[in-house]
């Protein structure tokens, strides 16, 4: 208060004024309790103690560390390590135990399912979709229709080595490109496609399907892989043609294209990229999606 | 709402006798801060003091003894009547058991408490502050203890002024040690609400209790000692927001503690035998001021510091009886009536008015909702969450499959086994992790089990269903046949 004002006493309350006045309204000087001032000083002193104890001041390329050595980054690292340590035993058990044992142990099964779900989202969802529902060219993992087999061991094998992945253990069988390589004439391929549609009870041209059946069993030798009844063979990754579940689509055009090009997809090998426990968790998770055999 | 600010100015200036603290015009700049002026409330006797003693005894009794009350809930559960079990996320209140996902009951209790506070404030001012607030109750207790060690007001004032001596030292030491012990008991009682009291007590005295228990006892010992023993009215005046809110809660019909200036003024000393003609009933004996734990003079009208504890009423009534005048010179009254009486009329108390109807109605509504919720509490619950990705899956045989996340909550004390059924008779039910079709699902006692369930409908049936079919999933207790059903949907490719 640099300038002096006339300080008076407010007649209504008996409180002294500060002498400040605006449009006839006087400012009362109601003193603050002194202990509150001391509390404020104590807080200031407390902040100095904080500077000494905890990281406080940013420097050019560093910061003051404080004598307690507190660091949130270290805390997080330690907490994450603690989680990893606590999971280590479970992960060991996952690697060691058989699928049947894991299934019989609710704690282990829950752990495997939770881990598998996360790993699936991180590594598999890009192709197979977040709900493992697949897409054109990428198999749906929810159904009971498996290209390479749906037992736990077969799923595990597929995840470990991939399909046509270049891994020495990977399964690589390939459908011939009947059209591109001139193995069948376009009309034969057309007839075969009609026959394949008939296998799944889809609308088709009966006469053409009859002719296609002959190609399927004769010139095309499709039965070698897909079987006499067209039910496929997981040993060679031959799809079941009777289930009306299509990897590349069930329209006539899509089937013709497939017979013509013999296209086959690639799945990467995951052994070496993911640790054995994670791979096993993934296999358990995928097996649990409802199609496991 | 009538404007009450202009209604009564009790102490008409200039007044005979004592005035409010005389302030001589300052010559230099006045200080921005001032030390707390110690207050030495005098013990009063009377109706409201008695009510306050009873209230203190009951509320402190409940607070300190409740954790020790037992309540049998069977062998698997704690037998403490009131227990906040953080470890298992349960709240036990006698026969009521609130799980973490039912925490809205606690929210409801808090809402009801707030509404009741509004209602009581609208009816009779700061009743909560004056009688029931822990700050008031414990401060009252601390003052009573102080009185035991140091005597009543005059003795305490003398002791405060006296130079240090052996007598003063042991009296003050006794006071503060007693306060600390009360604080210790307070903090100690609080931790018993969070763990089994007898067990924790044995652990505490043998120094085997968890560190957190000692830390909390320490914190609450300190706060009880500082707030109840040392700070007292400073908490209400400077720290608590409630006095600022109360202005919105009162109206001209609220019963407030008021000094009837029209009857008391002009005040002045009165000798026995003098006439009462031409003067007010207030004999300026100052008993209302010395009794006040907030250290104010009620005769100056409504003040922020006043917690409406009614001790000045008792003090004044005693004096009025002595000098042979009617009591209730200071009394619970409404501003409307005070205004009327000043003009020789009367205004009856109106307890029922829009404000109180609103608060009471809201309280009844929330209470009714909670009672309804409690009556619907089951000992077995089920939640069904249908898979959203994929919505449905077509299997090799043409059947359509939907997945559901089902949570079964078994609140019984024993393991129960449940069977599932779906409102589509042709449907097949499979549970992930349990072999066989529609297997029994066991849920541990007092536990929640989450399962993944697949419901498949064969091709022929699926062809008759649309893209979305409402279905009901029912869980049946295989022991006593009780059923819980949940509506959900079955998705398909459509016709």
Q: Report the pLDDT averaged over residues A254-273.
A: 93
Nearest-CA distance A180 → chain B (Å):
30
Task: Tell me what pLDDT residue B18 has.
Answer: 41
Structure tokens at A17: 């004024």
Task: Tell me what pLDDT residue A30 has.
Answer: 81
**Nearest chain B residue (CA) to A143:** B395
Residues of B with Cβ-Cβ distance to A11 under 8 angstroms: 13
Of A15, A31, A129, the CB nearest to B32: A31
Contacts of B480-485 with CB under 8 Å at 24 or more apart are B482/B380, B484/B378, B484/B380, B484/B381, B484/B382
Of B36, B387, B396, the CB nearest to A144: B396
Q: Which of B329, B347, B343, B175 is nearest to B264 (CA)?
A: B329
Q: Please state whether beta strands B33-34 and A32-33 pair in parallel, antiparallel, or not at all (unpaired).
A: parallel
Q: Report the pLDDT averaged over residues B302-315.
A: 89
Between A102-106, B96-100, B188-192, B386-390, the lowest mean confidence (pLDDT) is in B96-100
β-partners of residue A184 are none
pLDDT for residue B494 is more than 90: no
Q: Does B36 touch chain A (CB under 8 A)?
A: yes
Q: Which of B117, B135, B113, B138 is nearest to B126 (CA)?
A: B117
Of A1, A7, A32, the CB nearest to B25: A7
Residues of A with Cβ-Cβ distance to B23 under 8 angstroms: 9, 14-16
Of B234, B397, B433, the CB nearest to A109: B433
Task: Tell me what pLDDT residue B30 has.
Answer: 60
pLDDT in tens, B24-40: 444 445 677 888 888 99
CB pairs under 8 A between A and B: 96
DSSP A138-164: B--SSSS--SS--SHHHHHHHHHH-BS
**Nearest chain A residue (CA) to B389:** A131
Sign (positive or negative) of CA dihedral B367, B372, B377, B381: negative
Is A194 within 8 Å of A204 (Cβ atoms)?
yes
Spatial distance between the Cα atoms of A5 and B370, rounded to a whole number of angstroms: 61
Chain A: residues touching B (Cβ < 8 Å)? 1, 7-9, 11, 14-16, 18, 29, 31-37, 103, 106, 109, 129-133, 140, 142-145, 240, 242-245, 288, 290-291
- CB contact under 8 Å between A131 and B398, yes or no, is no
Task: Tell me what pLDDT residue B104 has.
Answer: 85
Question: Which span out of A281-285, B65-69, B268-272 was modeled with the highest average pLDDT?
Answer: A281-285
Q: Report the pLDDT averaged over residues A206-210.
A: 91
- CB contact under 8 Å between B393 and A140, yes or no, is yes
**Nearest chain A residue (CA) to B455:** A290
Distances (CA, A) of A74 to A67, A86, B369: 15, 18, 48
Task: Tell me what pLDDT residue B416 has.
Answer: 87
Residues of B with Cβ-Cβ distance to A28 under 8 angstroms: none
pLDDT for residue A117 is more than 70: yes
Between A82-96, B9-23, B375-389, B434-448, the lowest mean confidence (pLDDT) is in B9-23
pLDDT for residue B421 is more than 60: yes
A48 vs B460: which has the higher pLDDT = A48
- Tell which phi-psi region holds residue B251, choosing left (phi > 0), alpha (psi between -120 and 50) or beta: beta
Task: Tell me what pLDDT residue B242 has.
Answer: 85
The answer to whether the bond into A77 is cis (omega within 30° of 0) is: no
Task: Tell me what pLDDT residue B101 has.
Answer: 77
Structure tokens at B428: 């097949």
Name residue, tokens 């079955």: B490
Spatial distance between the Cα atoms of B468 and B284, rounded to a whole number of angstroms: 84
Spatial distance between the Cα atoms of B4 and A166, rounded to a whole number of angstroms: 90
What is the share, in percent, of chain B residues with pLDDT greater than 90?
31
Spatial distance between the Cα atoms of B69 and B342, rounded to a whole number of angstroms: 53
- CB contact under 8 Å between B390 and A14, yes or no, is no
In this structure, the dihedral spanned by the alpha carbons of residues B335, B340, B345 and B347, taken in order and rounded to 10 degrees, is -40
Spatial distance between the Cα atoms of A255 and A268, rounded to a whole number of angstroms: 25
Q: Count CB-CB contacts under 10 A for residue B227.
A: 19
- Tell which phi-psi region holds residue B433, choosing left (phi > 0), alpha (psi between -120 and 50) or beta: left
Task: Tell me what pLDDT residue B265 has.
Answer: 83
DSSP A225-268: HH-TTS--BTTTTBPPSSSS--SS-SSHHHHHHHHHH-----B-
Angle (deg, nearest 10), helices B166-191 and B153-161: 120
pLDDT for residue B14 is more than 60: no
Distances (CA, A) of B458 to A290, B76, B222, B395, B462: 15, 45, 70, 9, 6
Task: Tell me what pLDDT residue B72 has.
Answer: 83
Q: Which of A11, A273, A286 is nearest to A154 (CA)?
A: A286
Is B130 within 8 Å of B56 (Cβ atoms)?
no
- CB contact under 8 Å between B401 and A243, yes or no, is no
What is the share, in percent, of chain A residues with pLDDT greater than 70?
98
Residues of B with Cβ-Cβ distance to A33 under 8 angstroms: 33-36, 234, 238
- CB contact under 8 Å between B30 and A145, yes or no, is no
pLDDT for residue B377 is more than 80: no
pLDDT for residue A41 is more than 90: yes
CA end-to-end span of chain A: 87
Q: Does B326 touch chain A (CB under 8 A)?
A: no
**Nearest chain B residue (CA) to A291:** B395
Spatial distance between the Cα atoms of B228 and B221, rounded to a whole number of angstroms: 10
pLDDT for residue B141 is more than 90: yes
Task: Tell me what pLDDT residue A6 has.
Answer: 65
Residues within 8 A of A (CB atoms), B 118-147 only = none
Structure tokens at B374: 């409690």
Structure tokens at B365: 């509504």
In three-state form (DSSP H/G/I as H, E/B as E, the rest C), the secondary structure along chain B is: CCCCCCCCCCCCCCCCCCCCCCCCCCCCCCCCEECCCCCCCCCCCCHHHHHHHHHHHHHHHHHHHHHHCECCCCCCCCCECEEEECCCCEEEECCEEEEHHHCHHHHHHHHHHHHHHHHHHHHHCCHHHHHHCHHHHHHHHHHHHHHHHHCCHHHHHHHHHCCCCHHHHHHHHHHHHHHHHHHHHHHHHHHCCCCCHHHHHHHHHCCCCCHHHHHHHHHHHHHHHHHHHHHCHHHHHHHCCHHHHHHHHCCCCCCEEEECHHHHCCCCCCCCCCCCCCCCCCCCCCHHHHHCCCCCCHHHCCCCCCCCCCHHHHHHHHHHHHHCCCCCCEEEECHHHHHHHHCCCCCCCCCCCHHHHHHHHHHHHHHHHHHHHHHCCCCEEEEEEECCCCCCEECCCCCEEEEEEEEEEECCCCCEEEEEEECCCCCEEEECCEEEECCCEEECCCEEEEEEEEEEECHHHHHHCCCEEEEEEEEEECCCCCEEEEEEEEECCCC
pLDDT in tens, B179-229: 999 999 998 888 889 888 888 888 888 888 888 889 999 999 999 999 999
Nearby residues of A131 by Cβ (< 8 Å), 6 or more positions away: A142, B387, B388, B389, B390
- pLDDT mean across residues, chain B: 85
Task: Tell me what pLDDT residue B425 has.
Answer: 86
pLDDT in tens, A169-202: 999 888 999 999 989 999 999 999 999 999 988 8
Task: Tell me what pLDDT residue B495 has.
Answer: 59
């Amino acid at each position: 208060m640099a300038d002096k004002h006339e300080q008076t006493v407010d007649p209504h309350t008996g409180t002294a004024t500060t002498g400040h006045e605006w449009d006839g309204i006087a400012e009362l000087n109601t003193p603050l309790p002194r202990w509150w001032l001391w509390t404020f000083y104590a807080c200031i002193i407390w902040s100095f103690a904080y500077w000494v104890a905890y990281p406080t001041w940013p420097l050019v390329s560093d910061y003051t560390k404080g004598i307690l050595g507190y660091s949130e980054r270290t805390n997080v690292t330690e907490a994450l390590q603690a989680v990893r340590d606590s999971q280590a035993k479970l992960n060991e058990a996952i690697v060691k135990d058989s699928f049947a044992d894991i299934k019989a142990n609710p704690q282990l099964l829950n752990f495997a399912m939770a881990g598998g779900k996360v790993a699936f989202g991180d590594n598999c969802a890009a192709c197979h979709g977040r709900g493992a529902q697949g897409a054109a060219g990428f198999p749906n993992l929810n159904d009971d229709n498996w290209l390479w087999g749906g037992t736990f061991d077969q799923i595990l094998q597929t995840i470990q080595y991939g399909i046509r992945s270049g891994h020495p253990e990977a399964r690589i069988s390939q459908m011939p490109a009947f059209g591109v390589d001139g193995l069948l004439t376009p009309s034969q391929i057309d007839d075969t496609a009609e026959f394949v549609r008939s296998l799944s009870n889809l609308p088709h041209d009966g006469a053409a399907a009859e002719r296609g059946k002959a190609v399927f069993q004769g010139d095309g030798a499709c039965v070698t892989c897909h079987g006499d009844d067209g039910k496929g063979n997981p040993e060679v990754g031959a799809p079941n043609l009777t289930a009306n579940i299509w990897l590349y689509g069930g329209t006539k055009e899509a089937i013709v294209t497939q017979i013509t090009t013999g296209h086959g997809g690639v799945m990467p090998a995951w052994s070496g990229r993911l640790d054995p426990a994670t791979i096993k968790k993934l296999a358990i998770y995928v097996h649990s999606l409802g199609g496991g055999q | 709402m009538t404007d009450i600010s202009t209604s009564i100015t009790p102490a008409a200036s200039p007044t005979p006798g004592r005035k409010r603290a005389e302030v001589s015009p300052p010559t230099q700049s006045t200080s921005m801060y001032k030390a707390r002026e110690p207050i030495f409330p005098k013990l009063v006797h009377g109706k409201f003091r008695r009510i306050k003693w009873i209230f203190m005894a009951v509320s402190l009794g409940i607070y300190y003894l409740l954790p020790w009350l037992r309540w049998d809930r069977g062998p698997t559960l704690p037998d403490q009547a009131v227990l906040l079990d953080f470890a298992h996320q349960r709240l036990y209140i006698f026969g009521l058991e609130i799980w973490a996902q039912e925490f809205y009951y606690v929210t409801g209790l808090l809402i009801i408490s707030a509404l009741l506070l509004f209602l009581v404030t609208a009816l009779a001012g700061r009743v909560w502050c004056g009688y029931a607030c822990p700050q008031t109750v414990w401060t009252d207790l601390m003052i009573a203890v102080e009185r035991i060690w140091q005597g009543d007001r005059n003795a305490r004032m003398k002791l405060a002024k006296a130079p240090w001596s052996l007598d003063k030292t042991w009296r003050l030491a006794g006071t503060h040690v007693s306060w600390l012990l009360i604080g210790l008991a307070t903090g100690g009682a609080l931790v018993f609400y969070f763990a089994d009291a007898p067990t924790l007590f044995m652990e505490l005295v043998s120094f085997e209790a968890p560190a957190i228990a000692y830390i909390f006892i320490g914190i609450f010992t300190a706060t009880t000692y500082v707030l109840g023993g040392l700070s007292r009215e400073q908490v209400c005046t400077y720290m608590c927001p409630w006095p600022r809110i109360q202005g919105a809660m009162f109206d001209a019909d609220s019963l407030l503690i008021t000094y009837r200036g029209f009857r008391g003024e002009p005040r002045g000393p009165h000798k026995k035998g003098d006439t009462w003609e031409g003067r007010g009933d207030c004999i300026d004996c100052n008993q209302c001021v010395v009794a006040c734990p907030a250290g104010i003079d009620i005769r100056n009208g409504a003040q922020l510091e006043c917690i409406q504890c009614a001790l000045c009423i008792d003090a004044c009534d005693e004096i009025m009886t002595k000098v042979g005048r009617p009591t209730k010179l200071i009394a619970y009254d409404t501003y409307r009536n005070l205004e009327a009486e000043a003009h020789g009329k009367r205004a009856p108390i109106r307890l029922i008015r829009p404000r109180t109807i609103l608060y009471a109605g809201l309280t009844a509504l929330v209470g009714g909702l909670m009672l309804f919720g409690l009556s619907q509490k089951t000992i077995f619950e089920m939640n069904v969450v249908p898979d959203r990705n994929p919505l449905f899956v077509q299997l090799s045989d043409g059947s359509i499959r939907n997945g559901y996340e089902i949570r079964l909550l078994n609140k019984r004390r024993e393991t129960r086994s449940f069977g599932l059924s779906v409102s589509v008779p042709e449907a097949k039910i499979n549970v992930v992790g349990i072999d066989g079709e529609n297997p029994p699902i066991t849920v541990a006692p007092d536990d929640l089990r989450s399962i993944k369930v697949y419901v498949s409908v064969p091709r022929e049936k699926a062809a008759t269903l649309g893209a979305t079919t409402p279905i009901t999933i029912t869980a049946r207790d295989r022991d006593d046949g009780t059923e819980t059903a949940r509506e959900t949907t079955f998705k398909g490719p459509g016709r």
